[in-house]
Amino acid sequence: MFSTTDTIVAIATPPGRGGIGVVRISGPDACVIAGALREADAPLEPRRATFAKLRSGEQPIDHAVITFFPAPRSYTGDDVIEISAHGSPVILRAIVGAAVAGGARLAEPGEFTLRAFLNSRVDLAQAEAVADLIDAVTPLQARAAFDQLDGTLTERIASIDAMLFDLIARLEASVDFPEEGYHFIESRELVDALDGLLAHTTSLLADGRRGRVIREGFQIAIVGKPNVGKSSLFNALAGAPRAIVTPTPGTTRDLITEIVDVNGLRVTLVDSAGIRTTDDDVESVGVDLARRAMRIADAVLVVVDGSGALDDTDVEILRETTACRRVVVANKCDLRLEAPGGFLAVSARTGAGLAQLRDELAAVLDVDPTRDQPAITNLRHVTLVEHAHDALSRARAGVLERGPALSEEFVLADLQSARAALEEISGRRAADDLLAHIFARFCVGK
Ligand SMILES: Nc1nc2c(ncn2[C@@H]2O[C@H](COP(=O)(O)OP(=O)(O)OP(=O)(O)O)[C@@H](O)[C@H]2O)c(=O)[nH]1
Ligand SMILES: [Mg+2]
């Protein structure tokens, strides 16, 4: 990878124009480079916003506010200079250009956060949370990412790791002093300790399912026979007229998707062709697509026409979706008060029942945004906790199998591999290519 000891510079604010734009410089020469950029004699005081006139050589650039965060108490752990100038790409590029002329190097994507990780300002899970926080689409995603950045996952992993460390130490003592004929830990005690650890990994994994969908989102397919108002409901939930709505059955053929916020959950809604048997070639391709979308969705929203009675096609679709997580709605309730089949009455036209529909969709996805935030949201973390969990289960089975004449070496190997998995979450053991992969997700300047 690139050098981690030189001085880097990048624009930290998003591309485009704004009231303020920020250029960040990090590294041993940050102060010297910033000094050459401004017209002033007095050195920058730590953590004090200082007004400055910026120049590039003899050319004036802008009025700006410069703040100096000395190492190690800065974002990256190195000396950091933040320059807040007017948010014009021309000005910000000129500042970066002057910094490069002064000896800085353009930062790679995520390089500021990578340095924070390498300088132990954050662990790997926290660094990943920075990217998630920036990418968050719903407030719930932002909360989950913030909690991770704040160290909730780090703490939970560290407490499991500490217990493992203690157990390993005692087992190693037994292995190292076999002639004493004394076990530093008896098998019953070992099984109890493993049960305690497994309880922690189990609860982390349970949080993991909820957490991952908060981070990655769900897919919900809207299905029903033609003309029941699927596209109208899709538009109502999306808050925009995305899909064509007409009184002609068979209007929608393609799959149409839109990302919506359902009570804080990121949901990809999929509108599709009305399901029926048809001679129309194009429509029948659409019906196949609809069935496929229905099968891969995390949940389905089955729509029936509430203004009339159910017919065979409705019954068939209801039967096809019994095994799915689903919500069934009777649409067009503005035309008739009582919904057939006791289904939730909604109206895409008036908006009646839509709030309750959102609640029911969130409920069927089994994620309650008001509950405590899950500490684990990322597939990489879930997979590693699974590894640790499996290794602990193997260790437990091994102890039970061999009874009192337990063989510490086998158990030790499993415990070590559990520990290795957990340390990969925090990044204490992380290969360079893993780091490169994770930080490549960041944008420049982060
Ligand atoms: N009164 C009333 N009419 C509705 C409502 N929702 C949809 N409609 C009407 O029902 C007709 C069909 O609506 P669409 O949203 O196109 O129905 P669809 O299920 O997507 O139909 P296909 O794409 O053909 O399968 C249109 O004329 C809509 O205006 C509703 O809540 N109340
Ligand atoms: Mg439609």
Is pTM beyond 0.75 here? no
Q: Tell me the C-alpha distance between 327 and 332, whole Å.
A: 16
On the CB side of 201, how many CA atoms lie within 13 Å of its CA? Answer: 27
The pLDDT score that the predictor gives to residue 337 is 72
User: What is the position in ligand 1's atom list of the atom closest to the CA of 248?
Assistant: 24
Rounded to an integer, what distance in angstroms lies between the CA atom of residue 414 and that of residue 401? 15
Which is the closest atom of ligand 1 to the Cα of 227?
21
Amino acid at 403: G
User: What are the residues facing 21 on neighbouring strands?
Assistant: 85
246 lines ligand 1 (CB under 6 A): yes
In this predicted structure, what is the pLDDT of residue 317?
Answer: 95
Q: Quote the pLDDT of residue 181.
A: 57
Each residue's pLDDT tens digit, 306-347: 998 899 999 999 999 999 999 999 999 999 877 777 799 999
pLDDT at 371: 62
pLDDT of residue 178: 65
Per the CB < 8 A criterion, the answer to whether 377 and 212 are in contact is yes
What residues does 145 pair with on adjacent strands? none
CB 274 near ligand 1, within 6 Å: yes
How far apart CA 301 and CA 229 sit, in angstroms, is: 12
pLDDT tens digits along 90-105: 999 999 999 999 999 9
Write down the pLDDT at residue 405: 54
Tally the residues of the chain.
446
The answer to whether the CB of 250 is under 6 A from ligand 1 is: yes
Amino acid at 111: E
What pLDDT sits at residue 303? 97
- Ligand 1 closest atom vs CA 249: 24
Looking at residue 409, its pLDDT comes to 81
CA of 232 to the centre of ligand 2 (A): 7
CA dist., res. 340 & res. 315, Å (int)? 12
Instruction: State in Å: Cα 251 to ligand 2 middle.
Output: 5
Closest CA to 74 of 125, 14, 120, 23: 120
Per-residue pLDDT tens for 173-218? 877 776 665 566 777 888 999 999 999 999 999 888 778 777 778 8
For ligand 1, the distance from its centroid to the CA atom of residue 229, given in whole angstroms, is 3
pLDDT at 446: 85
Mutate to test the pocket of ligand 1, among 245, 307, 329, 346 (most ligand atoms within 8 A of CB): 245
Distance CA 31, CA 37 (A): 10
Q: Say if ligand 1 is within 6 A of residue 245 CB.
A: yes
Which residue stretches of the chain have pLDDT < 50?
404
Cβ-in-10-Å burial (0-12, 13-18, 19+) of 370 comes to: exposed
Tokens 């899950």 identify what position?
374
235 lines ligand 1 (CB under 6 A): no
Q: Take atom 27 of ligand 1 and give the residue whose Cα is closest.
A: 247
